Amino acid sequence: MHTMDRMNATLEHIPVFVPRIGVDTLKHLTDALDVGWLGMGATTKEFEERIAAYLELDGRHVVATNTGTSALHIALLAAGVGPGDEVIVPSFNYVADHQAIRYTGADVVMCDIRDDDLGIDCAAARALITPRTKAIIPLHFAGIPCDRAGVYELAREFDLRVIEDACHAFGSTIDGKKIGSDGDVTCFSFDPVKIITSIDGGCVVVNSEDELARLHHLRLLGVDKDTTERYKNARAWEYDVVDQGFRYHLTNIMASVGISQIKQVDAFIASRQEICRRYSDAFSTLNGVRVLRRSYDDVSPFIYSLRVLRGQRTDLIDFLKSRNIAAGIHFMPVHEHTYFASSRRGDMRVTERVATEVVTLPLHSFMKEQSIQRVIDAVCNFFR
Ligand SMILES: Cc1ncc(COP(=O)(O)O)c(C=O)c1O
């Protein structure tokens, strides 16, 4: 073994994601287990109420689900999306959105992104609108707000529903207001690697009581009354089944983890914003990279994404690996995947270039100072 390899082998591995699970979460979990009502119940309701309070909702409603993907699925159904409809969504995205559209029987139409915030390109989306277009799903990539005003302008002009994929953006703000606090339909994810986790989980935020009722049915096998009873840790023994439905509800146990996390969300976000600022400060002077953001005041950063130019991404990832630092890729374009290759799409010039550039560096809430510095030094050494 070379001296350098021996030295690197002794360095602690730095993963891309590290969940922040402390004794507080364990306490919430054991308390929830002690209640003896493991399924959906009063703790699920409390988690929904805490989400509503955190997002500062005024008249909007939260429905917790077992994943972000199921949130997107029932959000689309509640928005009236179904067979024969088309839904416009960026290809530069996780495939959950595209699969959720397919679950409804609607067709996926993929559009390009902007070069600056890597969010939806509204001009590109406009060019794809047809009489069949029912909805549009903008993604706030990496927690960075997309051109939301542009999306809602399109929605008004063409009478489209907007389902915001805010799975990366729990706590991000636009004009000082949290994403999800207004607009049409918003979906969040609390999966294992998100800003806050409920191990797996998600939620939908909607405006009307009717949509709330519909989501309750869709979430729990189309059964009426049961949500109200379960929120009291009880069951409705006599009920009707009023709609098609799925088994998408969030259990008390998962919700208890979510509650322990949401109590700390401001501190999680502040620590991640600070790390992102330090990364951007260090990398913005390097030749061969582009940082997405310098300021993070409005961003709840899910990941730190760096753009590596001139085809050097693989070499950078290998270099980091040799220093025991992991790196990820968000995202491979969905239109390049076999199942979605034949979906209608527009020009993908930006998506295809950006997808070869992006690399996700390690970002954890309260990441160790030593780890932050090792990531900064490694990236800087590679480009110097
Ligand atoms: C952009 C985006 N949308 C949706 C999802 C789906 O969320 P979940 O993993 O909770 O199903 C993810 C998950 O990573 C995502 O990154």
Q: Where are the domains of the chain?
A: 23-262, 265-383
Please count the CA atoms within 13 angstroms of the CA of 68 that sit on its side-chain side: 27
Please tell me the pTM assigned to this model. 0.97
191 CA: nearest ligand 1 atom? 10
The predicted pLDDT at position 79 comes to 98
Residuewise pLDDT in 10s, the chain (384 residues): 555 555 666 899 999 999 999 999 999 999 999 999 999 999 999 999 999 999 999 999 999 999 999 999 999 999 999 999 999 999 999 999 999 999 999 999 999 999 999 999 999 999 999 999 999 999 999 999 999 999 999 999 999 999 999 999 999 999 999 999 999 999 999 999 999 999 999 999 999 999 999 999 999 999 998 899 999 999 999 999 999 999 999 999 999 999 999 999 999 999 999 999 999 999 999 999 999 999 999 999 999 999 999 999 999 999 999 999 999 999 999 999 999 999 999 999 999 999 999 999 999 999 999 999 999 999 999 999
The predicted pLDDT at position 35 comes to 97
For residue 213, give the amino acid letter: A
Contact 161, 185 (CB under 8 A): yes
Residue 365 CA to ligand 1 center (angstroms) comes to 19
246 C-beta closer than 6 A to ligand 1: no
The predicted pLDDT at position 23 comes to 96
- Evaluated on CA atoms 354, 86, 164, 251, the torsion sign reads negative
Contact 104, 125 (CB under 8 A): no
Torsion of CA 124, 130, 132, 135, to 10 degrees: 30
139 CA: nearest ligand 1 atom? 1
163 C-beta closer than 6 A to ligand 1: no
Q: Is 110 helix (H, G, I), strand (E, B) or coil?
A: strand
Architecture of domain 23-262: 3-Layer(aba) Sandwich (3.40)
Count CB atoms within 10 A of the CB of residue 380.
14
Architecture of domain 265-383: Alpha-Beta Complex (3.90)
330 CA: nearest ligand 1 atom? 16
**What residues have CB less than 8 Å from 375, skipping those under 6 apart?**
14, 279, 320, 325, 361, 362
d(CA 384, CA 378): 10
The predicted pLDDT at position 3 comes to 57
Segment holding 378, helix H or strand E: helix 369-383
90 C-beta closer than 6 A to ligand 1: no
167 C-beta closer than 6 A to ligand 1: yes
- Residue 143 tokens read as 């927690």
d(CA 338, CA 335): 8
Residue 285 CA to ligand 1 center (angstroms) comes to 32
The predicted pLDDT at position 226 comes to 84
E-assigned strand segments in the chain:
61-65, 86-90, 107-111, 133-136, 161-165, 173-174, 177-178, 185-189, 202-206, 289-291, 304-308, 344-345, 358-361
96 C-beta closer than 6 A to ligand 1: yes
DSSP 142: G
139 C-beta closer than 6 A to ligand 1: yes
